[in-house]
C-alpha cells in the first residue's frame, strides 16, 4: 500500500477537498483507504503556548543524573 499525505481545509460539509496536484497522482479507479487526522487542540492557542513553555523548561534537579549519560 502506498501513502499520499496532504492537508486540506474542512468547511463543515460532507465533502473532503483533495488538492488538484494530489488528485492528479491518484489512479482513476480502484479502492483507497482514507485516514483523517485532526489537530487535538486547533482552537486553543493558550494550551499550545503552555505546552511549548513546559517543553522549554529546564529539567528538575533530580533528573540531572541523566545528563552524565550523554
Name residues whose C-beta falls within 8 Å of residue 17's C-beta, 6 or more positions apart in sequence.
8, 9, 11
Residue 13 lies in a domain: no
Q: What percent of the chain has pLDDT over 70?
A: 94
Residue 5 lies in a domain: no
Residue 34 lies in a domain: yes
Question: Where in the sequence is the domain holding 30, given as residue range(s)?
Answer: 20-69
pTM greater than the 0.85 cutoff: no
Residue 3 lies in a domain: no
Residue 51 lies in a domain: yes
pLDDT(4) > 70 = yes
**Apex CA 6: angle with CA 3 and CA 43, to 5°?**
130
Q: What's the pLDDT tens digit per position in 25-39?
A: 999 999 999 898 887
What's the average model confidence in pLDDT over 42-66? Answer: 76
Residue 15 lies in a domain: no
pLDDT(70) > 70 = no
Residue 2 lies in a domain: no
Domain count, the chain: 1
Amino acid at each position: 500500500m502506498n501513502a499520499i499525505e496532504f492537508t486540506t481545509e474542512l468547511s463543515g460539509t460532507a465533502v473532503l477537498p483533495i488538492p488538484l496536484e494530489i488528485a492528479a497522482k491518484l489512479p482513476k479507479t480502484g479502492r483507497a483507504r482514507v485516514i483523517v487526522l485532526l489537530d487535538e487542540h486547533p482552537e486553543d492557542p493558550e494550551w499550545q503556548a503552555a505546552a511549548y513553555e513546559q517543553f522549554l523548561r529546564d529539567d528538575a534537579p533530580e533528573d540531572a543524573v541523566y545528563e552524565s549519560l550523554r
